[in-house]
Chains A and B, each alone.
Chain A
Amino acid sequence: MSSLDTEKEDLLVLGIETSCDETAASVVKGCREILSNVIYSQIDLHTVYGGVVPEIASRGHIEKIDQVVKKALSDAGKELKDLDAIAVTYGPGLVGALLVGVAHAKALAWATGVPLVGVNHIEGHICANFIDNPSLEPPFMCLVASGGHSHLVNVLDYGSYEIIARTRDDAAGEAFDKVARAIGLGYPGGPKIDKEARLGDPESIAFPRAKVRENEYDFSFSGLKSAVLNYLNSCGMKGETVNRANVAASFQKAVVDTLVGHSMQAAHDRGVTKFAIAGGVASNSLLRQTFEEQCRERGIEFFRPGPVFCTDNGAMIGVAGSYEYLLGYRSGNDLNAVPGLSIGDRKGVFRI
């Protein structure tokens, strides 16, 4: 049993998320039950630019935030006055985008008298695992991989995190986006490479698997990205046709080998019995499959969120916020966005 045995079955928390290009809100009951999950994705606004444009994202959030919050409440059949807490992502992320959610959530909390809890976006991703896996309790190890983040984290208890490894350069999802663009698949790269890779041979091109000297568990993907670009250039110079599916498959295999390899090494070294994945890259089919196999072979119990809870959403913020609330964390009217917030950093909260 975890140290947090005060779970209230009827605890009702609104989660608000605007750290990147999804405007999202959700009502969560009893820490893990999702009563509503509304996500307004701006992806169409950004596709033409090949990635998320911060100012366009911020403008999108202010236009949609009211509608998204209202729908989350009405889908759940709840009103603001029914809430025990309002949880909001205050970092890490795009500062202008974060500020919309933070300012909105703060004013909602102020106007209703409902307590406010600032939530770390990455911790939210990790907590997404609690939604579909009722048996999952800390401690466990979790790989968080998305367009902006690649972290290997030891979840010691609810609200207690130890960072085991991080990326030294590009996030895993960023590498997917850049390679997808280089081979003409476009944005967003993750799902497009996943699909294209199924038609290719993952052993056809030998791309590197980088190791970082200072910390054997850390990740590095910029060398891999350069190797892909060099390969494409040399094909071009030799006048060879590029087999796009083979590039996608070989690149994806290299990323997955790195993520899974480092994770399993750390899990082994630390005697971990439960392993979870989270973040947008966690919806990659090869990554899921490889983790499943590797964990099974090692007798490690494997957990993953449903695909809708891998990408950014309000539910994961509501879940993380519920546990933070029960741990006594609160935020004030002066809560600010912290774009570079690290895992476990509680800059924007205080304990009652």
Chain B
Amino acid sequence: MKILGIDSSGLVASAAVLETEPGPEGRLLAQCSTDYKKTHSQTLLPMIDRICRETETEASGLGAVAVSSGPGSFTGLRIGSATAKAIALAANIPLIEVPTLQGLAFNLWGSSRAVCPMMDAKRDQVYSGLYGFEGGKLVIYRDQEALALGEMLEFVNSFGKEVIFLGDGASAYAGMIASGTQVPFMFAPAHLNRQSAASVAVLGASMYAEGRYINGEDHSPVYLRKSQAEREGAKKFDLWNTV
């Protein structure tokens, strides 16, 4: 079965085509990522089109679409989600929601160290979680959430295991991470340290095998954060305060 993987949750636009046969590990037919300028609306579908053409993959030949389902840039997530939903609808195939930080952690599959993906969530927060691999499976030590960097580092320290940091949040706060981490740590190198649709597709395939997929129409991104208006409440958030 072919699975199309999509990740547009951050600055990276990424797409991949995975053939799950022959098992157990399958074959990554194509992958493409760009981390240059954030114009997902203009880059993502042309990228999908290109890798599908090159691998003679038609939408009707896909068995499922796996999408990085959040957290991340609100607009970026929706571009990926709308694309994935429409392909699932048109091809009548299921959609696999791969949590963004699990997909990111999966880049370091097989690591004996703990894996701490971090995305810069702005407003003094990161989207982060703590993961590891046991028996080749991704395990969650702390599920993804929006939290202060210091709080995440406290958890990493108390967890006590050697750790690898990755993601744009790890790059943005490298100095603070270095000074606040009390366990041995490393930063993942460039070819592994950003969102990758290949990871989304491969992790998605294992989720699919466990029956963890849904109908595309039931999918919405996980934002882990309310909109500004909802956070500030109707009274404070006054659209007409300029009247």
Contact = CB atoms under 8 A, between A and B. Distances in A.
B239 A58 contact: no
Given A48-B234, A58-B78, A105 B86 contact: yes
Nearest to B242: A178
Contacts of A334: 41-43, 45-46
B73 to A, nearest CB: 10
Given A105-B86, A182-B243, A62 B75 contact: no
A49 B230 CA distance: 9
A41 interface: no
B129 interface: no
Interface string B218-243: 00110100011110001001111001
B74 interface: yes
B242 to A, nearest CB: 9
Nearest to A105: B86
B79 interface: yes
Contact of A62 (B42, B45, B81, B227): B81
B221 A53 contact: no
Given A62-B81, A63-B220, A108 B243 contact: no
Contacts of B134: none
Interface residues of A, number: 46
A225 B243 contact: yes
Nearest to A114: B90
Contacts of A106: 45, 83, 86
B204 interface: no
A62 B89 contact: no
A186 to B, nearest CB: 11
Classify the secondary structure of B's interface with A.
helix
Contacts of A59: 74, 78, 220, 223, 227
Contact of A111 (B44, B46, B59): B59
Contacts of A225: 243
A52 B239 CA distance: 8
Interface stretch (A95-103, A151-159, A196-204, A315-323): A95-103
A112 B74 CA distance: 27
B229 A107 contact: no
A336 B237 CA distance: 29
Contacts of B87: 107, 110-111
B216 interface: yes
Contacts of A103: 41, 44-45, 78-79, 82-83, 86
User: Of A67, A80, A95, which is in contact with the most chain B CB atoms at under 10 Å from its CB?
Assistant: A80
A66 B217 contact: yes
B158 to A, nearest CB: 35
A3 to B, nearest CB: 33
Contacts of B46: 332-334
Interface of B: 39, 41-46, 48-49, 59-60, 74-75, 78-79, 81-87, 89-91, 216-217, 220-221, 223, 227-230, 234, 237-240, 243
19 contacts: A48-B234, A50-B234, A50-B240, A55-B74, A55-B228, A58-B75, A59-B220, A61-B78, A62-B82, A63-B220, A65-B82, A66-B216, A69-B89, A101-B82, A103-B82, A106-B83, A107-B83, A177-B240, A333-B46
Q: Please give me the 3 A-B residue pairs with the lowest Cβ-Cβ distance, nearest first.
A: A107-B86, A111-B90, A111-B59
